[in-house]
Amino acid sequence: MKTRGAFRKFQLKAMGFTAIFIAPVVALVTKLIYGYPFPKSVSETGTIANQTGQILPFGLGALVLFSLTYLITYAYDNLDKAFLSGMLAGFTMVAMQMCQSGYITVDRVGILGVSPAISHLIHCIGAVIGFGSMISWIMFCFRKSDKRREEQTVEKRLRNTVYFWLGVAMIASLLLFVVDSTGLFGSDFPIVYVCEAVMLFLGGIACLIKGEMFFADKAVK
Q: What is the pLDDT of residues 93-127, one digit of tens each?
A: 999 999 989 899 899 999 999 999 999 999 999 99
36 lies in a domain? yes
What average pLDDT is seen over the chain?
90
Contacts 24+ apart (CB under 8 A), 102-109: 103/44, 103/47, 103/48, 103/49, 104/47
Contacts 24+ apart (CB under 8 A), 212-217: 212/9, 213/13, 213/16, 215/155, 215/158, 215/159, 215/162, 216/155, 217/153, 217/155, 217/156
**What pLDDT is attached to residue 221?**
43
pLDDT one-digit tens code per residue, 40-49: 999 999 898 7
88 lies in a domain? yes
Q: What percent of the chain has pLDDT over 70?
A: 94
Task: Give the three-state DSSP class for 88.
Answer: helix
219 lies in a domain? no
The number of domains in the chain is 1
43 lies in a domain? yes
218 lies in a domain? no
221 lies in a domain? no
- Check residues 112 and 70 and name the one with the higher pLDDT: 112
Domain assignment of residue 25, given as a range: 2-210
**What pLDDT is attached to residue 186?**
65
Question: Letter for the amino acid at 127?
Answer: A
**What pLDDT is attached to residue 137?**
96
Average of pLDDT values for 127-153?
A: 93
**What pLDDT is attached to residue 189?**
84
Backbone angles phi, psi at 114, to 5 degrees: -105, 175
pLDDT band at 185 (very low <50, low <70, confident <90, very high): low
Smallest CA-to-CA distance from 212 within 5, 4, 1 is with 5
95 lies in a domain? yes
pLDDT above 70: residue 219: no
Average of pLDDT values for 197-205?
A: 96
pLDDT above 80: residue 18: yes
Backbone angles phi, psi at 109, to 5 degrees: -135, 165
Distances (CA, A) of 163 to 3, 118, 157, 202: 26, 35, 10, 9
